[in-house]
Amino acid sequence: MTTLLHIDASPRGDRSVSRKLSKSFVDQWLAHEPGATIIYWFDKVIRIGKTFTFDLARGDFPLEPIMSGKTLVVLSSRGEFGFGPGGVRETMNHLETHISTCAHYLGVQESHLIAVDYQEFDDERHRQSVADAFAAIPVLVRQCLGIDSPASVAAE
């Protein structure tokens, strides 16, 4: 049975796009696996002695994760657009790159990103991006649960 650590970071409460995405992800997961354990409101995630160890005997790379084999799902919302690889704002993406850097110390082996763009434009591009993100969530849930392989997900 799966344990999901559900972390919401947005302070925008009911107006938050990313909170809606994460709620959808958890709801979809529970629809498939009602007995899954959900751990919510959680802070100080990366902890010495609990999630990573520090030992100078390892030389120039003294940190090592304690856990392994974890899957990270980042559900993100951006006011603007073009933050992905090759995008016009790729070098301004400090959020997801930061999370990816930290993820190693949580034993993350596999990671996925679903992001909404254009929030501050509030136009058709945003509405399409929201629709695409919500459509991608059940596909990713099925993939993470091993119901569909990544290849069959891509073909859907």
The footprint of ligand FMN (CB under 6 A) covers 10, 12, 16-19, 77-80, 119-120
Quick one: 2 or 10, whose CB is closer to ligand FMN?
10
Q: How far apart are CA 26 and CA 4, in angstroms?
A: 8
Quick one: 10 or 53, whose CB is closer to ligand FMN?
10
Q: How far is the CB of 16 from ligand FMN (least distance, A)?
A: 4
Quick one: 29 or 81, whose CB is closer to ligand FMN?
81
Report which residue's Cβ sits closest to ligand FMN.
Answer: 79
Quick one: 52 or 136, whose CB is closer to ligand FMN?
136
Q: How far is the CB of 21 from ligand FMN (least distance, A)?
A: 8
Q: How far is the CB of 85 from ligand FMN (least distance, A)?
A: 16
